[in-house]
Amino acid sequence: MKLKKILSLALAVGISVSTIGCSRGGDEKTIKVGASSSPHAEILEVIKPQLEKEGYKLEIEVFDDYVLPNTALSEGSLDANFFQHVPYLEETIKEKGYKLTYTEKIHIEPMGLYTDKLKSIDQLKNGATIAIPNDATNGARALKLLADNNIIKVKDGELITAKDITENPKNINIKAMNSEQLPSTLKDVDAAVINTNYAISSKLNPKKDTIAIESVDSPYANILACREDNKDSEKLKALSKALTSDEVKEFIEKKYNGSIIPAF
């Protein structure tokens, strides 16, 4: 009886270890992707039928911030994420030490200067307040947009901050805050530089509601990010292929009417 109990216990432990191993490895036919709600999750919805034909089930987890998707990807609860541009990923890797990379550039979201009070940049008054994102890459990108439109002048460099403003003829007050809060702050500031995904989610139109917008040759292409150890997996190859298909290109061009531009 004692031997039988030992064998039963050993078998139970073996089954438990096997089950844990499978859960850590994940389902090779399920692809879990973290994304911002718009436009990223909307674009991902388009490719579900394509992936189903290839034998994959696509699960989309929507995030409303820019920090958690990379953490979840690094920890392995996601296979990929789709919300960020290359400079943001590179800065996160530098700061956190994550072993992340990307497979494809999918689209460009021109960042814009939004306002519900002004009709043109010329109407910016002395001492006006402009809100910008408070993360390093998007904050620098916002300042460069203001400089490109002659509102301020800044030093050369990638990760510039408000301290790098060299000329500010209208004494513009720069207010840095979380990107997701920028649309709701328009009532409290004269203008705000907002990422397109948050603008669209808040029913703002990049073509109609901006008084300045990045050019189409912006280097900030949104990417499909993954871990270094799964970049060459079959499901990441299938996901990358679907996201750079003619069907996705047509969807982006028709759905967003120029406010978002395919990068492939």
Model-wide pTM > 0.85: no
Q: How far apart, in whole angstroms, are the C-alpha atoms of residue 140 and residue 150?
A: 15
DSSP sequence for 108-154: E---EEE-SS-SSGGGPPTT-EEEEE-SHHHHHHHHHHHHHTTS-EE
Q: How far apart, in whole angstroms, are the C-alpha atoms of residue 172 and residue 257?
A: 32
Report all structural domains of the chain as residue ranges with CATH numbers, in order of start.
Answer: 27-109+219-262 (3.40.190.10), 113-213 (3.40.190.10)
Query: pLDDT by residue for the chain (264 residues), tens digit each?
Result: 434 444 344 444 343 333 333 333 458 999 999 999 999 999 999 999 999 999 999 999 999 999 999 999 999 999 999 999 999 999 999 999 999 999 999 999 999 999 999 999 999 999 999 999 999 999 999 999 999 999 999 999 989 999 999 999 999 999 999 999 999 999 999 999 999 999 999 999 888 899 999 987 778 999 999 999 999 999 999 999 999 999 999 999 999 988 899 999
* Token code pair at residue 2: 């004692």
